Amino acid sequence: MTIVSRLRADHATALLAFERENRAYFAACVPDRGDAYFAGFAERHRELLDEQSAGLHHFHVVEDAGGVVLGRVNLVGVENGSAELGYRMAEKAAGRGLATWAVRQVCASAVAEYGLTALRAETTLDNGASRTVLARTGFEPLEDVAFGDRPGRRYVLDLRHGFPPAP
């Protein structure tokens, strides 16, 4: 069984293992987090939990039945009823629909638990898998943007009428 749960202090070890194990895989699609991220992981994890407690962000992990982290789905920069969606799935979990399922779960929580009315997301144009997840979960393309040094696209999802969106 796979679950999506809100980030907790006891996720730190499994989350760090997930980030290390998939570092090269992620760097092929998004800018690398850098060595400082891994060196200061414990402190940063505590800071993120504090920020989550303050309502600034909503962090989630996707775990298998054994507690292995298969992905993350985050809502960051909560302000005026909106937030930015970000997600990453482990290489071993890719291509199984897990990202689409997990994003749907978090979008539903965005409405039901966090009271959000809109989400934004960005991805590179060459990340077809991420663009597919956004399309399958109702995000609409908004505008082209620079994603680091690569061309990207910004998307938006209107949650004012709940989630999932009406057909």
The CATH number of residue 83's host domain is 3.40.630.30
Residue 162, helix vs strand vs coil: coil
On whether the pTM is more than 0.75, the answer is yes
Answer yes or no: is 38 within a domain. yes
Q: Which domain holds residue 25?
A: 3-158
Answer yes or no: is 167 within a domain. no
Helices 41-53 and 12-21: angle between axes, nearest 10 degrees:
120
Answer yes or no: is 127 within a domain. yes
Answer yes or no: is 18 within a domain. yes
- How far is C-alpha 112 from the chain's CA centre? 18
Mean pLDDT of successive 10-residue segments in the chain (167 residues)? 96 96 89 88 96 98 96 98 97 95 97 97 93 96 90 96 75
Strands 140-147 and 69-79: unpaired
CA–CA distance, 78 with 82 (Å, rounded to integer)? 6
User: What pLDDT is stored for residue 162 in this prediction?
Assistant: 86
Answer yes or no: is 95 within a domain. yes
**Token digits of residue 86:** 């970000």
Answer yes or no: is 115 within a domain. yes
User: What pLDDT is stored for residue 21 in this prediction?
Assistant: 96
User: What pLDDT is stored for residue 111 in this prediction?
Assistant: 96
User: What pLDDT is stored for residue 166 in this prediction?
Assistant: 59
When divided into structural domains, the chain yields a total of 1
